[in-house]
Amino acid sequence: MPSKKNDPELQAKEVQTAESPPTTVTALGPIAPIRSDNDLLTINDQERGIMPADSDDVKWNYMAGAARRKLVLTGIVSGLESMDGNSPVCVVDYEGIRVLIPGRQMFLDDWPENEDIPLEHRMRLGRMLGATIDFILVGVDLKNHAAVASRKAAMLQRQAKFYATGRVKVGIRVACRVIGVGNNRITVEAVGVDSVISASALSWEWFPDVTDLYSTGDLVVARVMAIVQDEATGQFSVRLSVKAATENPDLPALRKLVPGSNYFGVVTGVYDRLIFVRLQAGANAKTKLYHTKQIPSKLDTVSFQVRSVDEESGVAFGLITRIIRRHSKLR
């Protein structure tokens, strides 16, 4: 299984690398740096900030100072509102304070000023409910207790600090926030860069639905496979793999499979007549061959006869000899 939010490696207080572990700054002053794995970069708040128990005056005075200093703060997307019917606004909860972020300030990619928000961007915003995001305050009204922020500004600051300086590089593992789940893929933020990770790069174990493994708000560890900088904008994009960040846990089970034997399994997907099966024995299998009257369907329970095993790809090959049980939705 991919690393989830309970991974102790994700609980560090600041970005850490073995080469140059930084000093974490708190309201009480600097504290000693903490070392982590030599290829794992994690990131979290750099300051104590404010606490829910603080008075309103303390909170809003801190917010005003954070806006002047352009501090990167972190909150939870708690709502999606429409101010004039066409311009969505994200509501972010920051330690009990309501912060508004215009839809245009939520992503690095934009759309023409005279056009309504595209459907793709509206869907992306909808999937971000419950996500943890960074933002920079761009306006604080102390009298009326109102705050407006930009996620885009925080992302650009992160990119300048970590990508432009080479601290994020190909091969390193990065702690990522899941900011969207759907269409058999997840969208994560990796230190200021949003990236889509497809199902094939999410887990060694094949699964029927990505929502079985991930939810918005989760944390995952992914390995950086490629980094590209746009020459026109200077912005970075990154290709990530959660699967590549871990060793294949299925190898011991795969090696125990006996060619010519039948194993119980569940169909996780069918694409172009290629059938993917997760064997109960703890291994993946796939085939285009089946000795059944009907082609097996997703979530069917089947008997799979193993004919060969490829340890390098982590897959067993063979044929489906019988459909043991049809998925209930098909009955």
What are 12's two structure tokens? 């560090």
Specify the pairing of strand 72-82 against strand 262-271.
Answer: unpaired
Specify whether the CB–CB gap between 146 and 138 falls below 8 A. Answer: no
Helix or strand (DSSP H, E) at 67: helix 56-69
* Mean pLDDT for the stretch of residues 188-217: 92
* Mean pLDDT for the stretch of residues 57-83: 92
The helix/strand/coil state of 319 is: strand
- Average pLDDT of every residue of the chain: 85
CA 217 to chain centre: 8
pLDDT at 42: 77
pLDDT exceeds cutoff 60 at 55: yes
pLDDT at 52: 76
Specify whether the CB–CB gap between 309 and 293 falls below 8 A. Answer: no
Specify whether the CB–CB gap between 152 and 137 falls below 8 A. Answer: no
Q: What is the pLDDT of residues 8-25, one digit of tens each?
A: 344 333 333 333 333 323
* Mean pLDDT for the stretch of residues 30-35: 32
pLDDT at 148: 97
pLDDT at 244: 93
Specify whether the CB–CB gap between 203 and 4 falls below 8 A. Answer: no
Phi, psi values for residue 137, rounded to 5°: -70, 130
Q: What is the pLDDT of residues 92-123, one digit of tens each?
A: 999 899 999 999 999 998 888 878 888 888 89
What are 166's two structure tokens? 């080479």
Per the DSSP assignment, residues forming a β-bridge with 196 are 187
DSSP 234-260: --EEEEEESGGGS--TTHHHHHH--TT
What are 234's two structure tokens? 């200077």
Amino acid letter, 254: L
Per the DSSP assignment, residues forming a β-bridge with 81 are 89
What are 318's two structure tokens? 């063979």
* Mean pLDDT for the stretch of residues 246-251: 92
Cα 179 to Cα 77: distance, rounded to the nearest angstrom: 10
pLDDT exceeds cutoff 70 at 208: yes
Q: What is the pLDDT of residues 132-177, one digit of tens each?
A: 999 999 999 999 999 999 999 999 999 999 999 999 999 999 999 9
pTM of the predicted structure, to 2 decimals: 0.78
